[in-house]
Amino acid sequence: MNFRKTIRQFFIDGIPNGRIACELSNWVGKAYKIPRNLFKKCIDRDDLTSTGVYILFGKPENSLEKPKAYIGEAENIKERLQEHFRKKEFWNEVIVFISKDNDLNKAHVRYLEAKMYQISKQAERYKLENSQEPKPASISEAETAEMEEFLYNLKFLTNALGHKLFEEIESENIGTTVSNSNNVNEIDDTEMIFYINSVKKEANGKGKRTSEGFLVYKEAKISKSLTTSAPKKTKKLRAELLQKGIIEKDEQAIYILKNNYIFNSPSAAASLILGASVSGKREWKNERGETLGEVEGTESEES
């Protein structure tokens, strides 16, 4: 079950892209989002001398690379970040997590650091800049429960602040039908899955709308050839995905999507799979044969 939450944000510099202090309702923790160019303005913030964990974020080198992240902990966050400011060039933003009551100790943050590293490594969205995997500290059962709650809120805020470091691209477990429910927010997820299947092209796949774009699940079969009308951006994306190993040839020389992949639009996904210029809202169909455009009531609109 997902619990509704209230986030309180204080824009310290009075500008949207400046420093932000964040708190969640009924949570002992506190987060700071600090751009690197404004880091020196934080020197006088006493609460940043607390024990806590932090994440450094950096941009990818090019379109083929993942964004970068470094996960760390310290008994004095400000001192550690000053060291990173001098020695690490890749980052342009940091998110810091501390306790408002200063209740975090060294064992707590070592536990959090190790868990954050493991979860982000599994999510595979960022290139981790840590030279070695952090080792968790041994803490009591009661402390573990407290830190797991802290971790849950930490992940929630990291996502809300614009970084999906801990969020896996949706797995194959796509959901089940909700029945006998009074919750109007619950949706039969199986109705939201759409399919492409072209016998002529020997291409097929399944996907769905998400908050990030159109998700196509791994194992989709990609057309072996491209038509002359295939968009330039489709040809470029196909080449990039082949170079990155996200599309690979199997033993029968069939092109396979090896990972779940989020496209900018249904049409971008459909064009890549079919190797042609097509409308995603017409090509993607659910189990009842309804097109994506028909289901959304946007058949005539571009996708």
Q: What are the tens digits of pLDDT across the range 140-153? A: 999 999 999 999 99
Residue 174, domain member (yes or no) = no
Using pLDDT thresholds of 50, 70 and 90, give the confidence band for residue 130. very high
Question: pLDDT per residue over 117-126, tens digit each?
Answer: 999 999 989 9
In a shared domain, residues 73 and 205: no
Residue 166, domain member (yes or no) = no
Q: So what's the pLDDT on residue 176?
A: 28
Cβ atoms of 72 and 80 closer than 8 Å: yes
SS3 204: strand
In a shared domain, residues 12 and 156: yes
**Residue 175 identity:** G
Residue 173, domain member (yes or no) = no
Residue 71, domain member (yes or no) = yes
Is a pLDDT exceeding 50 seen at residue 179? Answer: no
Rounded Cα–Cα distance for residues 8 and 24 (Å): 6
In a shared domain, residues 143 and 31: yes
Q: So what's the pLDDT on residue 145?
A: 97
pLDDT mean over 92-110: 95
Is a pLDDT exceeding 70 seen at residue 177? Answer: no
In a shared domain, residues 142 and 46: yes
- Burial-class residue 292 by CB neighbours within 10 Å (0-12, 13-18, 19+): buried
In a shared domain, residues 32 and 133: yes
In a shared domain, residues 18 and 139: yes
Q: So what's the pLDDT on residue 10?
A: 96
Supply the mean pLDDT for the chain.
Answer: 88
Query: Strand (E) positions, 199-260?
Result: 203-210, 213-216, 221-222, 247-249, 255-257
Question: pLDDT per residue over 231-288, tens digit each?
Answer: 999 999 999 999 889 999 887 778 999 989 999 999 999 999 999 999 999 999 999 9
pLDDT mean over 184-196: 63
Residue 177, domain member (yes or no) = no
Last residue in a domain, options 142, 160, 178: 160
Residue 151, domain member (yes or no) = yes
Using pLDDT thresholds of 50, 70 and 90, give the confidence band for residue 13. very high
The total domain count for the chain is 2
Q: So what's the pLDDT on residue 191?
A: 55
Going by the DSSP 8-state scheme, the letter that residue 285 receives in this structure is B
Which pTM was predicted? 0.77
Q: What is the percent of the chain with per-residue pLDDT over 70, rounded to a whole number?
A: 90
Residue 181, domain member (yes or no) = no
Last residue in a domain, options 160, 179, 208: 160
Is a pLDDT exceeding 80 seen at residue 61? Answer: no
Ramachandran angles phi, psi of 193, nearest 5°: -90, 135
Distances (CA, A) of 114 to 121, 147, 152, 160, 275: 11, 12, 14, 21, 43
Using pLDDT thresholds of 50, 70 and 90, give the confidence band for residue 301. low
In a shared domain, residues 83 and 207: no
Using pLDDT thresholds of 50, 70 and 90, give the confidence band for residue 178. very low
Residue 19, domain member (yes or no) = yes
The more confident residue out of 48 and 253 is: 48
Give the pairing of strands 93-99 and 29-35. Answer: antiparallel
In a shared domain, residues 50 and 154: yes
Closest CA to 38 of 89, 85, 87: 85
SS3 284: coil
In a shared domain, residues 147 and 274: no
In a shared domain, residues 50 and 156: yes
The domain in which residue 288 lies consists of 189-296
Using pLDDT thresholds of 50, 70 and 90, give the confidence band for residue 1. low
In a shared domain, residues 13 and 147: yes
Rounded Cα–Cα distance for residues 122 and 38 (Å): 31
In a shared domain, residues 153 and 230: no
Using pLDDT thresholds of 50, 70 and 90, give the confidence band for residue 296. confident
Using pLDDT thresholds of 50, 70 and 90, give the confidence band for residue 62. confident
